[in-house]
Structure 1
Amino acid sequence: MFDIQEQLKNLPDKPGVYIMKDQENNIIYIGKAKILKNRVRQYFQSSKNHSPKVQSMVSNIAEFEYIVTDSELEALVLECNLIKKHRPKYNVLLKDDKHYPYIKITLNEEYPRVLITRRTEKDGAKYFGPYTSTTAVRETIDLIKKVFWIRTCKKVFPRDIGKERPCLNFHIKQCLAPCQGNINVESYRQMFKDICTFLDGKQDMLIEKLTKDMNDASQRLDFEKAASLRDKINSIKQIAEKQKIISSTLSDQDIVAFAAGEAETCVQVFFIRGGKLIGREHFILDGASPLERQETMTSFIKQFYNSASYIPKEIVLQSDIDEASIIESWLTGKRGSKVYITVPRKGEKQKLIQMVSTNAFETLQQFERKIKKQKHFAQSALTELMDALQLKKLPLRIEAYDISNTGGAESVGAMVVFENAEPSNHEYRKFKIKSVKGPNDYESIKEVLFRRLKRVKQEQKQIEEGTLDEEKAKFIHLPDIVLIDGGKGHVHAAKEIVNELGMDIPVFGMVKNDKHRTRGIVTEDVEFNIPIHSNAFKLAAQIQDEVHRVAISYHRNIRGKKILVSELESISGIGAVRRKHLMEHFKSIEKIKKANTEELEKVQGIDKKTAENIYEYFHD
């Protein structure tokens, strides 16, 4: 037995991370301490000063362990990583762990390119962002292409200069054709410096420079170039008018504020770059208490910036955070230069905080209305489904299956999971049909369901033997009902497997009408009359559409890969052996497509000539 009082006496007076566990050995809380002995003991002293959440957490502690670190900063980093990995019940948790898209200008290359990336590196390139959606990034890059006429091809320069004719973009005046040597490297690089100025938000400087170039071209009687520069200037002016300067400091800042509701807390972040608002994002926190503002803000800052690709020079907060100085040091280390955390009480920054806080409150209200609507739909749909199908309990977990193939070739199965009437994407599973030859949906359903349900018994045995952690089991949870995309014959096939494995799981089929849309739900004997406008019918239609989408997407993916792998052998110099070496080296066709000749030559059996053949095949 774990003796808490005895272990408290043995705690060291060193920095580190402590891990609280319940009776079932589940991690329920992770924290860091400057001095472990002092911090952990506080939990087990008088509970009068503890918040209700802490009191509840302490009452569930069966044991604890700790990890000693060399410094408080090291403890902070370890705490962030452990929380992200284990997501304990009593920690404030960030639901949305995103990597935002950035625009990357490859100034480290002789002929730069414009790319989308979600990771920033110290590689000599310039990064702009973060942007709150990939759509915003693509729109910005499309605008850059339109204004600056940069190349969009995948040719490698200067190696490929002069090898092929220019593409259509050159002829419609959307590319300067560096592939033909129409622009020298110095001028091309200068154009990308102008793009960087544009992305930095310094449009006035760029307009001034382009205006000078336009006037110079006009004086040289080069009216075509002058007109082109004039059009660029007008496009940039239109963009500049849309962007709003909201910070006179003209620096990079993140403005962070939140609004707390009864069950959730919404944190809003405004991303300001060069004094201009380039985007905003909101996050929902689980386990945050309206009374614990400081803990809420501290937890968010740690989790958000632990995985952030970019750290701004200044982070402006709505309220104070614990251990501000150590967090500043941590962020400074991640950024590579000084980071300032400020909590303004008045002035321009305080007005910004109020604006962000107002947006957080509006977003929280929208989120709560959405959750309320989802809960009502789920309760209504599941109750109606239970009554219509004469089930003994609410079908809180529904699994649906579908088979997809082309004339029996590349046959696959898909399993989707709906929990509380919502798709649980991380529990979706896909199956390649192994034992069935030809187009036989009934036997394919049997194979998929057998493999899925057999795994339940295998994992149960592994858990009992102690060779598998229950949290890592992928098939352990049984469905309340199984839905098959098909009619009575499909239901009969599925029931054979369920009965063979001795499981009591209701099985139904989802049938479609002449227009290939959901008509109703059937068993082997009867079709249930579910009103088309009911929530139960809407849920069934959603499930059927989703499982069909997953199955057919997987089938197309498998079929496309097989076609491409076979297509490799149509390239001069590639036979079965070299194709095998290529796939073993690159793992996918997509990576072979993106590889340059130098990378291709590293593959066993691929000489220079063959590498050039492969490259030209995919880049012609």
Structure 2
Amino acid sequence: MKLKEKVKNLPKEPGVYLMKDKLDKIIYVGKAKSLKNRVSSYFQSSKHQRFKTKVLVENIVDFDYIITDTEVEALILENNLIKKYHPKYNIQLKDDKTYPYIKVTLDEVYPRIFKTRIVKSDGARYFGPYTDIKAVNDILELLHDMFKLRTCKRDLTEKKEDRACLNFHIEKCVAPCINEISVEEYNRLIEKSIMILEGKEENLVKELEEQMKRASAELNFEAAAKLRDQIRAIDKVTQKQKIVSDKLINQDIIALAQADNDICVQLLIVRSGRLIGKEDFIFEESDDLKETLTAFLQQYYDNAYYIPEEILLEIEIEDLDLINQWLTKRKGSKVELKVPKIGEKKELVQMAYRNARYNLKEYRFKQKFKSLKVSRGVIELQEHLGLEEMPYRIEGFDISHVQGTDTVASMVVFENGQPKKSDYRRFKIKHGQGNNDFLSMSEVVTRRYSRLLEEGKQFPDLILIDGGKGQLGAAVEILHNLGRSEEQLIGLAKREEEVFLPGQSEPIILPRDSQALYLIQRVRDEAHRFAVNYHRKLRSRRLTHSMIDEIPGVGPKRREALLNYFGSLGKIKQATVEELSEVEGISEKTASQIREYLDNHIEP
């Protein structure tokens, strides 16, 4: 069925559409109030379409659609499908940073307060996210210095300890583990801590000042001095946060700056009237401010643990009301998206815009400098090694093992001087002859390049072997057997950073300050890192399996069930009998045996 005929049969209901290319791959996901009206707009006159949309339409061969009951449902489904398929033509938020939160374990009898990057629905209370890690550390240091809260992970619900740890003796903990403080008194300290985290430190300071006056009047000068120090510590931390509103409001402020096809989205985070952090997000190859802002709001708040009650935007967007409804539904209470025109809020948006413009300028300067630096490294490498072709694509290999066990190899890829992690590969060495790096290198080169030949794919411009003449010679022999020239091979010896070329007895010494040397060192180091990480993973898995196999009543099936449920031996060690018995195939009796064995044989 032709596309235009298929469009005629579309319903006029809300939903999501998925555009596909000739390989049946999803290349774009969109939502619509009316599927028929929205999808048909792609196949009308392209006169007023943006360049990116024209390119998208040229690649559409087919489409699917999913009907939803409401526009909000369509918005949620669109987010989920974009995360699942990563379509080529959707604007996507590429941000692999995980921001720290402060966690208060209110589900425990004696709660702890600590930094975490993992947020769960576990009865605890979370504050954040914080973009300034130093601010998090300062707040935690203040709370623990002031209130001497416990930091240990001991379970204090069932029994108390016989003696306190060192922290109690050096006055770093109030020692609830030995009943030095009651549950009620300890929870009062937690309440005070939460007041600081909520930005209500003014109320706390007033309370502390009254306590200080009473202590001074009672001639208890030591207690008064401690309270004075606590007040000063609170002032020191809160003074670093810029006050942007006298109202204790939580806001996110968002503005955008554009230069050519790069857009910077600037986010200012205000909690309880204080600016606690800022973050910028760069969208490359994006030329529409409204479309970019819409995509950012959908993707950022879809993953956000906390949504403030007010979000200030610099520009209007088409789906403002729809996103407002969605955010209100996600938060469970009212959220307002506003585009302020005058006053204090307009000034805050302008401050965000100035930051966006500066950050985009700095980003483009760094990209230009990096590009020049990278290109210089590739050009210098061609000149120093006398290569016929520019080494645009470099593949680097390394071997890792411990005394011949769990031997693995890695292959990393650099294109134009930058790592291309999607092309990295890992290999388990199969020759079974222990500590033989030459044989291992022969095997991995054979497996890699015989497969390239079978698939008819292009060889790299340069192959870097980590090692001297021996490893290089092994790779040269393999390439000869495959009917390929060895001219694209080099070896890099670690000791003197000597570069060995096939057929040359003397190494090449690259200038110490050259970008060429810097480039091949980066390739070699990345290959080594990737190999070592894989080796550690395999070795850890083997040791873990052998340790678990020693536990009475645990065979291969139960071992796999335990590892799948807990994820690691460390988590299994920490599990209680109740948690162990939740694993499929583990009875309460077996769980008790496992717990007893772990307590007696494996150190926590």
**Same fold? TM cut 0.5:** yes
Distance (Å, rounded) in 2 between the aligned partners of 1:424 and 1:593 = 38
Please, which runs of 5 or more residues in structure 1 have no aligned partner? Answer: 462-475
* TM-fit CA distance, 1:427: 3.9
Residue 147 (structure 2) pairs with residue 165 (structure 1): no
Residue in structure 2 matching 1:239, options 237, 240, 254: 237
- State the match for 1:486 in structure 2: 467
- State the match for 1:330 in structure 2: 326
Alignment map for 1:177-192 (pairs within 5 Å): 177-192=175-190
- Given that 2:469 and 2:500 are in contact with CA atoms closer than 8 Å, whether structure 1 keeps it comes out as no
- Given that 1:512 and 1:520 are in contact with CA atoms closer than 8 Å, whether structure 2 keeps it comes out as no
- State the match for 2:532 in structure 1: 552
CA RMSD of aligned residues (A): 3.0
- State the match for 2:492 in structure 1: 510
* TM-fit CA distance, 1:227: 3.6
* TM-fit CA distance, 1:546: 2.3
Alignment map for 1:102-121 (pairs within 5 Å): 102-121=101-120
- State the match for 1:416 in structure 2: 412
Q: 1:74 to 1:287 in 2, by over 3 A?
A: farther
* TM-score, length basis structure 2: 0.89
- Given that 2:263 and 2:289 are in contact with CA atoms closer than 8 Å, whether structure 1 keeps it comes out as no
Q: 1:554 to 1:123 in 2, by over 3 A?
A: closer
Alignment map for 1:72-471 (pairs within 5 Å): 72-96=71-95, 98-132=97-131, 136-162=135-161, 164-218=162-216, 223-289=221-287, 292-453=288-449, 460=455
- Given that 1:582 and 1:592 are in contact with CA atoms closer than 8 Å, whether structure 2 keeps it comes out as no
- State the match for 1:467 in structure 2: none
* TM-fit CA distance, 1:324: 1.1
SS at match of 1:366: helix
SS at match of 1:93: coil
Distance (Å, rounded) in 2 between the aligned partners of 1:47 and 1:563 = 62
Residue in structure 1 matching 2:568, options 570, 584, 588: 588
Distance (Å, rounded) in 1 between the aligned partners of 2:519 and 2:561 = 43
Q: Deviations over 1:349-387 (max 9, x none)?
A: 111111111111111111101111121122222222234
Q: 1:407 to 1:47 in 2, by over 3 A?
A: closer
- Given that 2:393 and 2:461 are in contact with CA atoms closer than 8 Å, whether structure 1 keeps it comes out as yes
* TM-fit CA distance, 1:509: 0.9
- Given that 1:93 and 1:287 are in contact with CA atoms closer than 8 Å, whether structure 2 keeps it comes out as no
Please, which runs of 5 or more residues in structure 2 have no aligned partner? Answer: none
SS at match of 2:242: coil
Q: 1:232 to 1:617 in 2, by over 3 A?
A: farther
- Given that 2:18 and 2:28 are in contact with CA atoms closer than 8 Å, whether structure 1 keeps it comes out as yes
| Percentage identity across paired residues of the two chains | 43
Q: 1:273 to 1:597 in 2, by over 3 A?
A: same
Q: 1:430 to 1:114 in 2, by over 3 A?
A: farther
Distance (Å, rounded) in 1 between the aligned partners of 2:57 and 2:402 = 58
SS at match of 1:528: coil
Residue in structure 2 matching 1:520, options 499, 509, 517: 499
- State the match for 1:468 in structure 2: none
Amino acid corresponding to residue 178 of structure 1 in structure 2: P
Q: Deviations over 1:496-534 (max 9, x none)?
A: 4445556667322111235xxx23343353533533322
* TM-fit CA distance, 1:275: 0.8
* TM-fit CA distance, 1:492: 2.0
SS at match of 1:492: helix
Q: 1:610 to 1:3 in 2, by over 3 A?
A: closer
Distance (Å, rounded) in 2 between the aligned partners of 1:495 and 1:148 = 66
Deviates more, 1:122-131 or 1:312-321: 122-131
- Given that 1:90 and 1:287 are in contact with CA atoms closer than 8 Å, whether structure 2 keeps it comes out as no
- Given that 2:553 and 2:590 are in contact with CA atoms closer than 8 Å, whether structure 1 keeps it comes out as no
- State the match for 1:531 in structure 2: 511
SS at match of 2:47: helix
Distance (Å, rounded) in 2 between the aligned partners of 1:616 and 1:176 = 30
Distance (Å, rounded) in 2 between the aligned partners of 1:123 and 1:192 = 18
Residue 523 (structure 2) pairs with residue 543 (structure 1): yes
Distance (Å, rounded) in 1 between the aligned partners of 2:522 and 2:187 = 51
* TM-score, length basis structure 1: 0.87
* TM-fit CA distance, 1:21: 3.0
Distance (Å, rounded) in 1 between the aligned partners of 2:503 and 2:404 = 25
Distance (Å, rounded) in 1 between the aligned partners of 2:503 and 2:193 = 65
Amino acid corresponding to residue 35 of structure 2 in structure 1: L
- Given that 1:95 and 1:286 are in contact with CA atoms closer than 8 Å, whether structure 2 keeps it comes out as no
Amino acid corresponding to residue 614 of structure 1 in structure 2: L
- State the match for 1:469 in structure 2: none
* TM-fit CA distance, 1:265: 0.6
Distance (Å, rounded) in 2 between the aligned partners of 1:337 and 1:457 = 60
* TM-fit CA distance, 1:347: 0.6
- Given that 1:256 and 1:267 are in contact with CA atoms closer than 8 Å, whether structure 2 keeps it comes out as yes
Deviates more, 1:214-223 or 1:174-183: 214-223
Q: Deviations over 1:263-311 (max 9, x none)?
A: 311111011111111111111113321xx32222112211221222221
- Given that 1:148 and 1:232 are in contact with CA atoms closer than 8 Å, whether structure 2 keeps it comes out as no
Distance (Å, rounded) in 1 between the aligned partners of 2:483 and 2:135 = 53
* TM-fit CA distance, 1:166: 1.4
Distance (Å, rounded) in 1 between the aligned partners of 2:152 and 2:390 = 55
Distance (Å, rounded) in 2 between the aligned partners of 1:583 and 1:167 = 37
- Given that 1:99 and 1:309 are in contact with CA atoms closer than 8 Å, whether structure 2 keeps it comes out as no
Distance (Å, rounded) in 2 between the aligned partners of 1:503 and 1:144 = 66
Distance (Å, rounded) in 2 between the aligned partners of 1:160 and 1:400 = 56
- Given that 1:565 and 1:579 are in contact with CA atoms closer than 8 Å, whether structure 2 keeps it comes out as no
* TM-fit CA distance, 1:618: 7.0
Deviates more, 1:9-18 or 1:393-402: 393-402
SS at match of 2:390: coil
Deviates more, 1:199-208 or 1:80-89: 80-89
Amino acid corresponding to residue 198 of structure 1 in structure 2: I
Residue 26 (structure 2) pairs with residue 44 (structure 1): no
